[in-house]
């Protein structure tokens, strides 16, 4: 049942308005109203270009450009009434413009279609997000670097399989995440460079017979150039997919840091303590302090990845050029961008605020036979054993310590000699976690000296 007259923007050939269900499935204003500012910016540039090329009168362009500013201020102040019947942001804006300035509003849509319009608006929106995310990741990285600096030489267990592997420094572990987030920033800036071409002027799909100046609108809207192929310009959403892909990788990085902090804040680890500001309590267990912020950062990655899979699935197999399926792109990108932005901000707060228990880190670093590799290396360096033989001897020493329920450091020289005769006092030096990390000076290694160099480098890069 339709209860309206045909759409004023395209209803010329229609006798009836849409069914209520049609309206419900077709409308996107609830989502794409977020593009209002970008839509108005694009329309103002388009109107200026139409006048500059003599396609519409200057007086009309002036009225359009002024009127659009009025619409923008109404939207910004919350005075604007969005209408579902007008489907999307483009028609809502244009319809209101007509109410404000009358007949000249009808000239705005010359040499343009909603297809190139939405592609342009959405690119500008994603571009703004990329810029904001770059700043957010930079602040998070600076927070990690300052934590790394404070603990450049704190020893802690490094893990593989979440089993103690070898001692590492806290600073080195923090800087591992700085590397990841720097690559995320790199991916965002690569995506930005590739997507910064202006679709406006592609019109519906084939270009236009009007003598438009695409260079002019591209420049006015901050694009590097107009897109070269009108069919491609209105068809592809690879810029959105690329944004979502890079966002997914970044959110996976965040989720791993979040997960480590969740584990490290347990009573079993006690490596870190979350601040009150980023924790919650339990309504029944008075002692509880839960790392909810970190858990939610971990969960947001599922949401970002879900949005990514969703849009890939929408786009897969769509014939060129525009299909209405593509209207579903914005909800996914908006949700992913919001989730990622919040997750980065929360992670920055968690990292800045958390307490780090250096004594617990150090105590844990000595557990789990963490310096067994150092012992094997000592046998290679000092006794000339092939590494495989040294590995076997050390394995036997670990088994001996295990049977005595003690650490390698707690074995006597006599105990050790029963496994391998040619051992002396010197071996005890390498069994200390501090000595272990100090010795790992290879490029990219965990030695405090290396970590301090890296901190300097990052400060310069991000400064
Ligand atoms: N709201 C639409 C979208 O977001 C705008 C483009 C509509 N184009 C069309 N040919 N129906 O995709």
Per-residue pLDDT tens for 100-147? 999 999 999 999 999 999 999 999 999 999 999 999 999 999 999 999
Ligand 1: distance of its center to the CA of 90 in Å?
A: 9
Percentage, residues of the chain above pLDDT 90: 94
Closest residue CA from atom 1 of ligand 1 = 88
- Which residue has its alpha carbon closest to ligand 1 atom 12? 327
CB 327 within 8 A of CB 29: no
CA of 235 to the centre of ligand 1 (A): 11
Query: pLDDT tens-digit profile of 203-234?
Result: 999 999 999 999 999 999 999 999 999 999 99
Alpha carbon 409 to chain centroid distance?
44
Calpha distance 357→151 (Å, rounded): 10
Q: Is the pLDDT of residue 401 over 90?
A: yes
What are the tens digits of pLDDT across the range 142-169?
Answer: 999 999 999 999 999 999 999 999 999 9
Tens digit of each residue's pLDDT (9 = 90 or more) over 227-286: 999 999 999 999 999 999 999 999 999 999 999 999 999 999 999 999 999 998 888 888
Ligand 1 probe mutation, 114, 202, 203, most atoms within 8 A of CB: 114
Determine the Cα angle at 34 with ends 33 and 35, to 5°.
85
pLDDT at 5: 80
- Which atom of ligand 1 is nearest to 87's Cα? 1
Q: Distance between CA atoms of 391 and 380, rounded to whole angstroms?
A: 9
Pocket probe for ligand 1: among 327, 329, 332, the residue whose CB has the most ligand atoms within 8 Å is: 327
User: pLDDT of 301-326, one tens digit each?
Assistant: 999 999 999 999 999 999 999 999 99
Residue nearest to atom 4 of ligand 1 (CA): 327
What is the pLDDT averaged over residues 395-404?
Answer: 96
pLDDT for residue 4 is more than 80: no
Task: List phi, psi (to 5°) of 155.
Answer: -90, 145
Distance (Å) from CA 83 to ligand 1 centroid: 16
pLDDT of residue 289: 87
Whether 1 shows a pLDDT value over 50: the answer reads no
Residues 6+ apart with CB under 8 A from 450: 172, 440, 441, 443, 444
Pocket test for ligand 1, best of 87, 115, 234 (most atoms within 8 A of CB): 115
Give residues (CB < 6 A) around ligand 1: 28, 32, 88, 114-115, 118, 322, 324, 326-327
pLDDT tier at 10 (50, 70, 90 boundaries)?
A: confident
Nearest CA to ligand 1 atom 3: 327
Residue 89 CA, closest ligand 1 atom number: 1
Residue nearest to atom 2 of ligand 1 (CA): 327
Question: How many angstroms is it from 382 CA to the middle of ligand 1?
Answer: 73
For ligand 1, what atom is nearest to the CA of residue 330? 4
> Which residue lies with its CA nearest to atom 7 of ligand 1?
114
pTM: 0.94
Helix, strand, coil fractions of the chain, as percent rounded to 5: 65, 5, 30
Tokens of 425: 């006092």
Q: Please give the structure tokens belonging to residue 18.
A: 């849409």
Check whether 2 has a pLDDT greater than 80.
Answer: no
CA–centroid distance, residue 42 to ligand 1 (Å) = 15
Task: Tell me the CA–centroid distance for residue 58 and ligand 1, in Å.
Answer: 28
Whole-number Å distance between alpha carbons of 263 and 267 = 9
| Residue-level pLDDT at 284 | 81
Report the nearest-CA residue for atom 10 of ligand 1: 115
Q: Which helix (H) or strand (E) holds 358?
A: helix 358-365
40 exposure class (CB count in 10 Å sphere: 0-12, 13-18, 19+): buried
pLDDT band at 370 (very low <50, low <70, confident <90, very high): very high
CA of 211 to the centre of ligand 1 (A): 24
The Cα 429–Cα 409 span in angstroms is 9
Mutate which of 88, 116, 318 for ligand 1 pocket (most atoms within 8 A of beta carbon): 88
Is residue 82 within 8 A of residue 92, CB to CB? The reply is yes
Residues tagged active-site: 161, 282
């Amino acid at each position: 049942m339709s209860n309206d007259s045909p759409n004023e923007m395209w209803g010329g050939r229609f006798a009836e308005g849409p069914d209520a269900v049609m309206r419900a499935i077709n409308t996107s204003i609830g989502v794409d109203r977020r593009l209002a500012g970008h839509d108005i910016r694009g329309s103002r540039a388009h109107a200026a270009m139409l006048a500059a090329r003599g396609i519409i009168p200057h007086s009309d362009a002036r009225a359009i450009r002024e009127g659009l500013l009025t619409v923008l201020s109404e939207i910004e102040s919350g005075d604007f009434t969005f209408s579902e019947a007008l489907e999307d942001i483009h028609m809502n804006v244009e319809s209101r413009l007509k109410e404000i300035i009358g007949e000249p509003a009808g000239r705005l849509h010359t040499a343009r279609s909603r297809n190139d319009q939405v592609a342009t608006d959405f690119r500008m929106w994603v571009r703004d997000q990329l810029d904001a995310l770059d700043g957010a990741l930079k602040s998070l990285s600076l927070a990690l670097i300052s934590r790394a600096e404070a603990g450049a030489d704190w020893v802690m267990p490094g893990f593989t399989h979440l089993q103690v592997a070898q001692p590492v420094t806290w600073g080195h572990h923090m800087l591992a995440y700085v590397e990841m987030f720097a690559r995320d920033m790199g991916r965002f800036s690569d995506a930005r460079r590739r997507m910064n071409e202006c679709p406006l002027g592609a019109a519906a799909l084939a270009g236009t017979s009007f003598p438009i100046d695409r260079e002019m609108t591209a420049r006015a809207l901050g694009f590097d150039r107009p897109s070269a192929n009108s069919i491609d310009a209105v068809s592809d959403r690879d810029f959105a997919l690329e944004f979502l892909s890079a966002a997914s990788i970044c959110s996976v990085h965040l989720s791993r840091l979040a997960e480590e902090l969740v584990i490290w804040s347990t009573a079993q680890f006690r490596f870190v303590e979350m601040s009150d500001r980023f924790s919650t309590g339990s309504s029944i267990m008075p002692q509880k302090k839960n790392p909810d912020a970190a858990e939610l950062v971990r969960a947001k990655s599922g949401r970002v990845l879900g949005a990514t899979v969703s849009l890939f699935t929408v786009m897969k197999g769509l014939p060129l050029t525009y299909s209405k399926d593509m209207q579903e792109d914005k909800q996914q990108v908006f949700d992913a961008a919001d989730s990622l932005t919040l997750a980065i901000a929360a992670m920055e707060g968690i990292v800045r605020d958390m307490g780090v228990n250096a004594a617990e880190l150090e105590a844990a670093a000595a557990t789990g036979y963490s310096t067994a590799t150092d012992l094997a290396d000592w046998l290679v360096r000092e006794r000339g054993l092939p590494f495989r033989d040294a590995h076997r001897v050390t394995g036997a020493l670990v088994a001996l310590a295990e049977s005595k329920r003690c650490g390698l450091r707690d074995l006597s020289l006599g105990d050790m000699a029963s496994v391998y005769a040619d051992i002396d006092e010197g071996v005890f030096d390498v069994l200390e976690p501090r000595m272990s990390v100090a010795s790992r000076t290879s490029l990219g290694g965990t030695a405090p000296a290396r970590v301090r160099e890296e901190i300097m480098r990052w400060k310069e890069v991000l400064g």
